[in-house]
Structure 1
Amino acid sequence: MPEAETSITISRIGSNGGKLSSSSSIESNGASTSSRRRNMPMMYQMYESQYEDLRGTVYGPESPDFFPAQASENLKKALSGIETNDQAIINILVHHNNFQRQKILSAYEDMYEKSLISDIEEETGGYFLEMALALFKPAHVLDTLQLYKSVSNRYGDHSVAVEIACTRSARQLKVIREQYQQDFKKTLEKDINVKVEGIFGRMLSLLLCKSREEDGKRLDEELVNRHANLMLSQTVDDLSRNVVIFEQIFAVKSWRHIAAVLNRADELRGDRRDIETILRKNKTMHSETRLMLLTIVHVARNNQLYFAEKLRNAMSGERPDHSTIIRVIVTRSEIDMADIVEEYKSRYQRSLDFDIQQSCSGDYLRLVQSTINPNGAINI
């Protein structure tokens, strides 16, 4: 008989405070959830969000209904036949959360003295393999690796680093910085200073390395007005070069505060163009700085709509950007993917699932669909 696991639950991750929705499949008993989480490694406990109002699509079975040995046996069967049973792999991936997948990896190696990752690499390929490997990688390790690749990009595409800086909580960024130093034997701040030049690099370092206030704090209306007027005292070109003001408003204050400042500044402009339009139409600002400021505006106002737009853009080009599709769906699956799906439909008047079908195919398509489908992923 496989040994029942008794300590595995990963809570939802969001960007705003609040309570779990009444439709949640996650146990609402705080004491019970807390007791199970105590046995999780500290890195995982720290990487959990403190916000509970948003909805992911992957939760995994509640303990004691999780049996990593049984999941490992099913994976072995799926990988050992004449033809690989990709659907069985999909079912196990989307019916277990990230922490439970780490238990499955360990159980598989103990049982068969082989690496599950190596066996999957031998039997599958393409984007299906890429997404499966991302789902099996510990969440904080995946974010750290994505950040390292983006910071080290010799061609200057630092958009993923900006995305991580703006969409991970202060606690998550702290874990990423620690993991970064452990994996790459250097601090993130020093690496950015070496690899990312100019004012943009200094601003990126502030976003990633400064400690940010959490959103639960009550808004200081006087400070909101002061920051809004400070923004209006600068042209957007001046703002894009002023590291001191950038730090004051965008690097250390909560996202709720930033949203209030942006909205107040737009109100004070009256009939003139809003900040997003001004940034989009600016032709003189450094392109990466403009992207950073636009990301800040979008994330502060609606984090889930930001990701919906990222997915839409990834599927709207001449060729689908599968790295973005995989990154967004994997990293948000336990966080707010159900809300992203809803924002996508509201924004584009079409379902994300329909557009995914136009961009993906085969077992890769089925894996993506299973990950974004709340009913398929929640009803274990």
Structure 2
Amino acid sequence: MASVKVPALVPSPAEDAEQLRKAFQGWGTNEALIISILAHRNAAQRKIIRETYAQTYGEDLLKDLDKELSSDFERTVLLWVLDPAERDAFLANEATKRLTSNNWIVMEIACTRSSHDLFVVRQAYHARFKRSLEEDVAYHTSGDFRKLLVPLVTSFRYEGDEVNMTLAKSEAKILHEKISDKAFNDEEIIRILTTRSKSQINATLNHYNNAFGNAINKDLKTDPEDEYLKLLRATIKCLTCPEKYFEKVLRLAINKLGTDEWALTRVVTTRAEVDMQRIKEEYHRRNSVPLERAIDSDTSGDYEKMLLALIGHGDA
């Protein structure tokens, strides 16, 4: 489901490294050359380019990019060049420090990565920050948020399709009882959402819908302004239909007065190699405008060119 266009004939990592080095030399930086290389290489290729660059020039490609580029374009390129697990570790760490919407980013990483990928993110987090992701999440959150987020980031779910229908029925009933009692932070709700496989959760929520006549997120909307309930609904969306969750993040990022570049950059760089095609279809369906046109009218310059290349629509 990736949207990144990798050319049929990819130059050698040594050639790519040499071209990038050239892009940094002379008068001004050649941003178009940087985009034409990096936006069209997959994660494995980008990793080898970084290693080759370090071996050949004795410099860290990330540091050189940091020196040469600026603003939103720089952030996009740097996030993109990072290994996916390193990128998630960096975003999660940054999220524990930011005061706004940080819980959402931690939840998003915990719920939309595979069990193995999340495990690798936690390893990358150790290596880079000399602390564990869960200790930072626990330290920077409190109350109901902590109760939900710590088990989410430490989860190692079964990834297969096996589903226990008897369990789905009984757990749908538990969820319905707790929600009817407005016990939204009940440990049973948290246990089910943080330990069951995504297939099992889907089966449980389908049964919930059929048995009780409402989708669970509708029943969790009793107080639309409650921040914990918003996070709980987003958690369920991320676990069951991530493309709908990411479509909404993009819609809010683009349709606000002034763009939320942080959110736009994060979704494009983290989903370009995963499910960007589905997100684009969902965006078009929901907004009657293709995502590339929305990005085109909302951003400009090298930043715009890089984003469009990553969602598979750039001329770069």
Answer whether TM exceeds 0.5 for this pair. yes
Partner of 1:130: 75
Residue 248 of structure 2 is matched in structure 1 by 309
The one-letter code sitting in structure 2 at the alignment partner of 1:262 is L
3-state DSSP of counterpart to 2:27: coil
Written as runs of structure 1 = structure 2, the 5 A alignment for 1:23-34 is none
Q: CA deviation at 1:236?
A: 5.6
Q: 1:266 aligns with which of 184, 195, 209?
A: 209
Residues 177 and 116 of structure 1: is their aligned pair in 2 closer, same or farther, counting only changes over 3 Å? closer
Find the counterpart in structure 2 of residue 341 from structure 1.
280
| CA deviation map 1:296-315 (0-9, x unaligned) | 33223322122122111111
Residues 1:121 and 1:210: Cα distance change in structure 2 (over 3 Å): closer
Instruction: Give the match for residue 140 of structure 2.
Output: 195
Q: Find 1:364's aligned residue among 300, 303, 312.
A: 303
Question: How many equivalent pairs are there?
Answer: 316
**In the alignment, what sits opposite 2:120?**
175
Q: Which residue of 1 aligns with 2:216?
A: 275
- C-alpha separation between the residues in 1 aligned to 2:296 and 2:141? 37
Greater Cα shift, 166-175 or 289-298: 289-298
Q: Answer with 149-158 or 294-303: which moved more.
A: 149-158
The 1:120–1:375 alpha-carbon spacing in structure 2 relative to 1, beyond 3 Å, is: closer
**3-state SS of paired residue (2:102):** coil
1:204 matched residue in structure 2: 149
Q: Distance in 2 between matches of 1:114 and 1:175?
A: 26
What do the CA deviations read for 1:354-379 (whole angstroms, capped 9, x no partner)?
Answer: 100122101111111111126869xx
CA contact (8 A) 1:199 1:243 kept: no
> What are the equivalent positions in structure 2 for 1:1-380 lying under 5 Å apart?
55-58=1-4, 60=6, 65-154=10-99, 157-214=102-159, 216-235=160-179, 238-247=182-191, 249-270=192-213, 273-282=214-223, 286-287=226-227, 289-373=228-312
Runs of at least 4 residues of structure 1 off by over 6 A?
Answer: none
In the TM superposition, residue 109 of structure 1 has moved relative to its aligned partner by 3.0
Distance between the aligned counterparts of 2:22 and 2:294, measured in 1?
33
Distance across 1 between alignment mates of 2:293 and 2:150 = 38
Which residue in 2 is equivalent to 1:30? none
What do you get for the CA RMSD once the two structures are aligned?
A: 2.3
Is the CA contact 2:178–2:184 (under 8 Å) kept in the aligned structure 1?
no
**Cα separation, partners in 2 of 1:197 and 1:242, compared to 1, 3 Å:** same
The residue that corresponds to 1:49 in the other structure is none
Rate the CA distance shift 1:283–1:69 in 2: closer, same or farther, 3 A: closer
CA 1:73/1:283 → structure 2, altered by over 3 Å: closer, same or farther? closer
Whichever structure has more helix as a proportion of its residues is 2
Gaps of 5+ in 2: none
Q: Measured at CA, do residues 237 and 366 of structure 1 come closer, stay the same or move farther in structure 2, by a change above 3 Å? A: farther
Native 8 Å contact 2:4 2:273 kept in 1: yes
Q: Shift of the alpha carbon at 1:281?
A: 4.0
For the Cα contact (< 8 Å) 2:108–2:238, is it kept in 1? Answer: no
Q: Judge conservation of contact 2:253–2:264 (CA < 8 Å) in 1.
A: yes
> Per the alignment, in what secondary structure is the counterpart of residue 319 of structure 1?
coil
Return the offset for 1:156: 6.7
Query: In 2 relative to 1, CA 236–149 (structure 1 residues): closer, same or farther, beyond 3 Å?
Result: farther
TM-score (norm 1): 0.77
Cα 1:81/1:236, change in 2 over 3 Å: farther
Deviation by residue 1:130-159 (Cα, 9 ceiling, x = unmatched): 111111111101101111122233557311
